[in-house]
Amino acid sequence: MARKFLYLIAILIVLYLVARIAYEMFADEIAAYALVPSAEFAPMDPLEANAYQDPALWYSRPGIGVTDPARWQPAYSNERSGLPTQSDDGVPDFAVFFVHPTSYLSRDNWNAPIGDEEAERIARIYIRGMASPFNAANEIWAPRYRQATMGAFLTDEPEGDKALDAAYSDVVEAFRFFVDSVDQDTPIVLAGHSQGALHLLRLLREEVKDSEIADRVVASYAIGWPISVEHDLPALGIPACSTAEQTGCVLSWSSFAEPADPSAVIETYSTSVGFDGEPRGDSQILCTNPLLGAIGGSAEADANLGTLVPDDSMSKGELVRGSVPATCDTQGLLNIGPPPEMGSYVLPGNNYHVYDIPLFWANTKADVGRRVSAFAGGQEGPVGDED
């Protein structure tokens, strides 16, 4: 009996090792098989004219009240509750347009249907954790949109790009309604993560650049999507934020813990085409250090004003000070030191993509308030841009 038991244990160990090796060797293929739709892309009907007048097409907007996920305010953990907390007092009025990341994982469609229960549940969680650092704003707008499914990012077939174009068509309609709805004197902050950041970058190129709205944009937080300093940044029409009080600029970072293996991200990035039509290759990735509010550099954990550590459901969490450092490495990725305990959604290679904003929740909130205050101070042009 004992020998049979040992044989069983040995077989289980071998099966585990084989499965682990197979996963490491074919992780991309496995993910693609599990997530890329097999059906042909079916063009979506455009939304009805003025569709975003309907409050039901917004996760967050003025008037929703206490159920607005972006208005959530996490508390500091008990062991640090005696420390002072941030205040929104003195921050001038501003409005935020936030585009949530991918929450649709199904292979059934290339784009999420409006009203998909699971996708919208996850989207609300993301907005709760990622849009809430912007909650000093008097208006936060976060649209529902027919996002591209996760599998659209895992294929080289044209259906992936078609799905992203279809998703953007919703985002741009929501953005135009947002612009028309916000008072014309109100400063604007743009923000998005992952797929949301990709759509935000397109908004900057096609809707904001050289437009009347450009002078009202305080800053653009395009987080969790690599931006090539050489091949992407010039096309945006705005510089990177090089100082902590600069306005009219863009911020971006992608977080990895040690030992980091960003090879999959770097390989995809290097073979992709930049906004200028040229391959991104080994060009520098824009890395804003969220603890410094500037390009590059290194900051110890004690500069972190509060990491939002979620519970298992990802729907709640608490702020913990001084737990996560940040260093921009030579590639332009953000190194956060030893792996912090954030939950079970860390991606292979110690990629903390899902936690890019929660890792620096309180610093992001402080950053927004600082730039809005600088913008309201009456500076003309991007603050800190001496060129």
Q: What is the pLDDT of residues 231-277, one digit of tens each?
A: 999 999 999 999 999 999 999 999 999 999 999 999 999 999 999 99
Domain for residue 103, yes or no?
A: yes
The whole-number pLDDT of residue 255 equals 98
Domain for residue 98, yes or no?
A: yes
Instruction: Please tell me whether the peptide bond between 239 and the residue prior to it is cis, using omega within 30 degrees of 0.
Output: no
pLDDT: is 191 or 156 the higher one?
191
What are the b/e assignments for 305-320, b being 16+ CB within 10 Å? bbbbbbeeebeebbbb
Q: How many CA atoms lie within 13 A of 232 on its CB side?
A: 27
The whole-number pLDDT of residue 78 equals 62
The whole-number pLDDT of residue 177 equals 98
Inform me whether the pLDDT recorded for 367 exceeds 70.
Answer: yes
Domain for residue 366, yes or no?
A: yes
Domain for residue 291, yes or no?
A: no
Mean pLDDT of 303-308: 98
Among 11-20, 149-158, 300-309, the minimum mean pLDDT is found in 11-20
Domain for residue 134, yes or no?
A: yes
Domain for residue 12, yes or no?
A: no
Could you tell me the CATH number of the domain that includes residue 244? Answer: 3.40.50
- Residue-wise pLDDT tens digits, 203-236: 999 999 999 999 999 999 999 999 999 999 999 9
Domain for residue 21, yes or no?
A: no
Extended strands (E) in 312-364: 317-320, 326-328, 334-335
Number of domains comprising the chain: 1
For residue 77, give its domain range.
Answer: 30-254+361-376
Inform me whether the pLDDT recorded for 26 exceeds 70.
Answer: no
Domain for residue 122, yes or no?
A: yes
